[in-house]
Structure 1
Amino acid sequence: MVEYMVDWWEKRCYLTPDHIAVVDGETGERLTYKELNIKVKRLAVRLQAQGIRKGDRLALLAPNHVAYLEWLFACRLLGAVLVPLNWRLATLELASILADCTPKLMGVHSRFATLSAELQASHAMTVFSLDDSETMEIDTVVDKNAAVDPEDPYVMIYTGGTTGKPKGVVLSHRSIFWNAANTVVTWNLTASDVTPTFMPMFHTGGLNALSLPVLHAGGTVVVVQHFDAEHTLELLNREKCTIALLVPTMYHMLIQSPAFAGAVFPTMHTFLSGGAPCPLPVYQAFEAKGLSFKEGYGLTEAGPNNFYIAPHDAVLKRGSVGRPMLYNDVLLADDDGSEVSIGEVGEIWLRGGHVFHSYWNRPEATLEVLSPNGWLKTGDLGKRDTDGFYYIIGRKKDMIISGGENVYPLEVEHQLRQHPAVSDAAVVGVPDEKWGEAVSAAIVLAADCSVTKEELIEYCSASIGRYKVPKRILFMIELPKTAVGKIDKSRIIANMVQYGNEA
């Protein structure tokens, strides 16, 4: 028996047809739920005319655009699988992803016309222009040739890892629904919420962190193609935004903007950081302005929303991501899978309806991270305090073992970033004959500031154990980033190995 799957999008459009669903942050164009749903149904009919059926993969190559929502909900009608492509990848990388997911059709924004032509040359598929202005009336009902099951694949997002071949993370209809519902209920989202989507919508943060939960609640999503600090400050007030998600790099740029000092945000109730642990100076900058700021944690394979923390708790428990959300469980496990004690570091395991379905065509990799009783082994490390608040320590694979001692890079990074001459820092372990791994730091200096390696070592030694203090320091103009904006520690290690202790 096929489990019944509620079409929540259709219900939402029926309940609040005249409320604004989406705003184009570049042009200001607005679409109500009714208007957006009309575009969704027109697209579904046209895709069906192209032979798209249940289970077919549809690739999408576009900057942040309302088309992401049109294609997502059209896929829901057809039972097709949306594969948003990371356009920041090299052509060969994208070609490899297409070869893996074998899409029948690819939607392309005009900005990527040349790139799509190169990709089409290596992969046989129909190219569908997003700029086609056809405005056909809905005179054909979408033919649902098979019922949609909650476990059916809905979205496939390729991981942005820095090593190995990217894996297609299959999110089922169940995964998408439960992340949205869990977020709405736990974070108290309502139809009055307005969120800007700066995070790339080919990324789970752009699609699932706030965009879909806010639409689930009947709120408004402002889709923004480019991040610029001054433009962001203006847009938040112009569109009367209430909750925003940015990555730490964006917040770093925001607080350094001259306009930030005088900015006020009368409608904003929450500034949320995600994607990577947030430096303490960002907390301090928002706290100094009396603004609610907190941190979240997630990953493509789970949600990405897993914790909730109230703004007043975020001030008292600085650096904490809070407690588990209403409809998911969290376990901190040791190497044997047993729960660690309060205050001890363990691997974060997650369980709930929002957890991903599988890795596309990678059954062995799926079994490595999904336990038989439903736990997802994230590979991230965390700890829990006596009040039940969780803290992210870093990636398990990033943990440094130096002279037999465990060193967690995030702790050292927090210390380095507190130095007034340091704008940003990343700590890695570099192979070393004596220590096994040498704690090493890549440093970006603040504007018009200088500091020596010896001064930084002395500064750290005053607050953290000697075994945690960086033995090597490399000054860089900027920290290398991955295609989704995270610090690329593998490249930092390579630079450390190449240049040693030289600036």
Structure 2
Amino acid sequence: MTSPGIGAIADIIRTHGREHPDVPALITGERVITFGDLDARSSQVAQAFAHAGVGAGDRVAFIERNGVEFFEVVFGLAKLGAVGVPVNWRLAAPEIRHVLQDSGASAVVVGEDFFDRIEAIEHELSASVIAIGSHARWPEFAAWVAAHPAVDPGVVTGPDDLVFLMYTSGTTGAPKGVMLSNANYAAKTGGVAAGPWRITADAVCLAVMPLFHMAGSGWAFAALWQGATTVVLRDVDPAAILDAVATHRITNMLVVPAVIQFLLDTPGIDTADFSHLRVIVYGASPISDDVLVRGIERFGGVFAQVYGMTETTGSITQLDGEEHLPQLLRSCGRPYPWVRIRVVAPDGRDVAPGTVGEVWTKSAQNMLGYWNNPEATAATLTADGWLRTGDAGYVDADGYLYLHDRLKDMIVSGGENVYPIEVENVLMTHPAVSDAAVIGVPDDRWGEAVKAVVVRTRRSSIGEAELIDFARQRLAGFKLPKSVDFVDALPRTPSGKILKRALREPHWAGADRRIG
């Protein structure tokens, strides 16, 4: 469980920096950063932000691929009582603008691969910009930090203080800021690390999923929480993952199913040594039986499936390795001991085991709410603390949760959430489109792929490639339709609501399940 003295994000680095300064905290490429190094460096970052006017409660955005800078920034902000806003770097400039403006970020740290996104919207921002890399106008991060002393500002935050704003797509089209507190992380990270995720101080964990995601940063925090070493890969590269597993003798890793499939098809997989692996945690999107069975044959009984969402600080259920039996492979496991699950009918009453309803959950992992969005918060969190997941499922007599479908229309493609309304809103701005619906269809590689069903305007002959290219200028790549069907009319209810289920059904007939 939780390491002694750790109850907040800032405590992770303060505690291990003091008690285990020479233990490697992060390894990236040839670089080894000890807990002492990271403690000192994050204090310098805290001083740099303080000098720039950032204080307790202020939001600072971070846009960069995986690297040491993420940890320096988030721990530095935590030492100030400021709030980290990790931004999905796959987003297009208009989407990033919404996150920065909605969060009220006073500063943004951005890597050089994404300078163009910030330059495109810079005139609309009030935030100061710090560059990881060389930029003509913005201060360079390393030099900006180096000008300040490695002195911890000593701000102490409470359990319910906001520490992260993590933006997740919303049914209304615009991403919502999920407010996560120290207590959320203490419950989740401290709970899963040594127990379900088998992370001990001598573990060597691999952080390869994007750190702006809960699957990336939440996993890395669990390792650091225990004082374990984390090997950080900049991108998802199957060959690099195999090399890291062998070179560093990785014991614990978390990936999405698409990465498992990539690994199984990577040259060298047959001879790689996986004997030191304790657990491979997977989740966030559907996995096919074929990939799972092949994975178990190659890696052994080390798989642990999880289910959760950003609003619950990540996973709330787990199916352990020994539970990967034929009759349970479609289950996402049972809730952690500190997590409660209900399956609820539309009238708010619990349903009987085996009956499908909406999955509700209650634990100290549940978010504080959505940033500046009381309506969405009230629609998701009940007055007595239950969180409505929006997922349909059932619990069997033994307490195993099975996900059945989505009550919402969300698509999960390669672990990324895509809400159709975002894509539909963009497609509808094209003058050749009179109506559009977006659905998720099965995809062998990504779990689900985005498909658009479009009604053209009269006399329009726009094609699939042209419409996708139009969307590419306005949406992140993972949200783009991979295919477009053109139809004369969309199926609708008498009240005018599009029958998404009717559009999806032909594509999903015979599929193992409709949700990851």
Q: What TM-score range do you get, normalising by the shorter chain?
A: 0.7 to 0.9
1:495 counterpart (485, 502, 509):
485
Q: Give the aligned partner of residue 297 of structure 1.
A: 307
Q: Give the aligned partner of residue 270 of structure 1.
A: 279
Q: How does 1:360-371 map onto structure 2 within 5 Å?
A: 360-371=371-382
1:170 counterpart (168, 179, 184):
179
Note if contact 1:59-1:105 (Cα within 8 Å) is conserved in structure 2.
yes
Note if contact 1:383-1:390 (Cα within 8 Å) is conserved in structure 2.
yes
Q: Give the aligned partner of residue 254 of structure 2.
A: 245
Q: Give the aligned partner of residue 206 of structure 1.
A: 216
Whether 1:358 aligns to 2:369 is yes
Distance across 1 between alignment mates of 2:265 and 2:405: 25
Note if contact 2:17-2:35 (Cα within 8 Å) is conserved in structure 1.
yes
When residues 149 and 262 of structure 1 are mapped into structure 2, their CA distance, relative to the original with a 3 A threshold, is: same
Shift of 1:15: 2.6
Output one character per residue of 1:175-232: Cα deviation in whole Å (capped at 9) or x when no partner.
1222111212431321122222221111111111x11111111112222112122222
Shift of 1:129: 2.5
Counterpart residue type for residue 22 of structure 1: L
Shift of 1:398: 4.6
When residues 334 and 35 of structure 1 are mapped into structure 2, their CA distance, relative to the original with a 3 A threshold, is: same
Shift of 1:311: 0.9
Note if contact 1:442-1:492 (Cα within 8 Å) is conserved in structure 2.
no
Note if contact 1:247-1:276 (Cα within 8 Å) is conserved in structure 2.
yes
Note if contact 2:64-2:114 (Cα within 8 Å) is conserved in structure 1.
yes
Whether 1:151 aligns to 2:160 is yes
Distance across 2 between alignment mates of 1:389 and 1:322: 5
Counterpart residue type for residue 357 of structure 2: G
Distance across 2 between alignment mates of 1:181 and 1:72: 18
Shift of 1:392: 2.2
Counterpart residue type for residue 303 of structure 2: F
Q: Give the aligned partner of residue 450 of structure 1.
A: none
Q: Give the aligned partner of residue 465 of structure 2.
A: none
Gap regions ≥5 residues in structure 1: 400-408, 411-427, 429-439, 447-479
Whether 1:392 aligns to 2:403 is yes
Q: Give the aligned partner of residue 19 of structure 1.
A: 23
Distance across 2 between alignment mates of 1:287 and 1:5: 36
When residues 337 and 98 of structure 1 are mapped into structure 2, their CA distance, relative to the original with a 3 A threshold, is: same
Q: Give the aligned partner of residue 102 of structure 2.
A: 100
Q: Give the aligned partner of residue 117 of structure 1.
A: 119
Choose between structure 1 and 2 for higher RCO, CA contacts under 8 A separated by at least 6 residues: 2
1:236 counterpart (240, 245, 248):
245
Secondary structure in 1 matching 2:378: helix
Q: Give the aligned partner of residue 421 of structure 1.
A: none
Distance across 2 between alignment mates of 1:494 and 1:168: 31
Output one character per residue of 1:34-55: Cα deviation in whole Å (capped at 9) or x when no partner.
1111111011011111111111
When residues 62 and 443 of structure 1 are mapped into structure 2, their CA distance, relative to the original with a 3 A threshold, is: closer
Shift of 1:294: 2.8
Shift of 1:161: 4.8
Shift of 1:238: 1.2
Counterpart residue type for residue 319 of structure 1: R
Secondary structure in 1 matching 2:315: coil
Distance across 1 between alignment mates of 2:477 and 2:314: 16
Note if contact 1:159-1:167 (Cα within 8 Å) is conserved in structure 2.
yes
Q: Give the aligned partner of residue 306 of structure 1.
A: 316
2:336 counterpart (307, 325, 329):
325
Shift of 1:345: 1.6
Shift of 1:315: 3.2
When residues 190 and 394 of structure 1 are mapped into structure 2, their CA distance, relative to the original with a 3 A threshold, is: farther
Counterpart residue type for residue 71 of structure 1: V
Shift of 1:371: 0.6
Distance across 2 between alignment mates of 1:298 and 1:485: 24
Whether 1:288 aligns to 2:297 is yes
Output one character per residue of 1:421-467: Cα deviation in whole Å (capped at 9) or x when no partner.
xxxxxxx9xxxxxxxxxxx9946689xxxxxxxxxxxxxxxxxxxxx
Q: Give the aligned partner of residue 431 of structure 1.
A: none
Shift of 1:17: 2.0
When residues 336 and 98 of structure 1 are mapped into structure 2, their CA distance, relative to the original with a 3 A threshold, is: same
Distance across 2 between alignment mates of 1:315 and 1:36: 42
Note if contact 1:348-1:381 (Cα within 8 Å) is conserved in structure 2.
yes
When residues 312 and 201 of structure 1 are mapped into structure 2, their CA distance, relative to the original with a 3 A threshold, is: same
Secondary structure in 1 matching 2:291: helix
Q: Percent identity?
A: 27
Normalising by structure 2, we get a TM-score of 0.75
Note if contact 2:166-2:310 (Cα within 8 Å) is conserved in structure 1.
yes
**Greater Cα offset, 493-502 or 270-279:** 493-502
Secondary structure in 2 matching 1:259: coil
When residues 497 and 350 of structure 1 are mapped into structure 2, their CA distance, relative to the original with a 3 A threshold, is: farther
Output one character per residue of 1:41-97: Cα deviation in whole Å (capped at 9) or x when no partner.
011011111111111110111111111111111111111111111111111111122
Output one character per residue of 1:445-492: Cα deviation in whole Å (capped at 9) or x when no partner.
89xxxxxxxxxxxxxxxxxxxxxxxxxxxxxxxxx9998997x6x947
Shift of 1:498: 7.7
Normalising by structure 1, we get a TM-score of 0.77
Counterpart residue type for residue 89 of structure 1: L
Q: Give the aligned partner of residue 472 of structure 1.
A: none
Q: How does 1:42-81 map onto structure 2 within 5 Å?
A: 42-81=44-83
Distance across 1 between alignment mates of 2:298 and 2:307: 24
Counterpart residue type for residue 222 of structure 1: V
Counterpart residue type for residue 265 of structure 2: Q
Distance across 1 between alignment mates of 2:37 and 2:363: 33
CA RMSD of aligned residues (A): 3.4
Secondary structure in 2 matching 1:186: coil
Distance across 2 between alignment mates of 1:160 and 1:116: 20
Shift of 1:235: 1.5
When residues 217 and 495 of structure 1 are mapped into structure 2, their CA distance, relative to the original with a 3 A threshold, is: farther
**Greater Cα offset, 335-344 or 351-360:** 335-344
Shift of 1:308: 2.8
Note if contact 2:193-2:199 (Cα within 8 Å) is conserved in structure 1.
yes
Secondary structure in 2 matching 1:331: strand
Output one character per residue of 1:105-135: Cα deviation in whole Å (capped at 9) or x when no partner.
1112222223222232210221123343333
Note if contact 2:344-2:351 (Cα within 8 Å) is conserved in structure 1.
yes
Q: Give the aligned partner of residue 41 of structure 1.
A: 43
Secondary structure in 2 matching 1:298: strand
Q: Give the aligned partner of residue 203 of structure 2.
A: 193
When residues 109 and 441 of structure 1 are mapped into structure 2, their CA distance, relative to the original with a 3 A threshold, is: closer
Note if contact 1:249-1:485 (Cα within 8 Å) is conserved in structure 2.
no
Note if contact 1:278-1:295 (Cα within 8 Å) is conserved in structure 2.
no
Shift of 1:319: 2.7
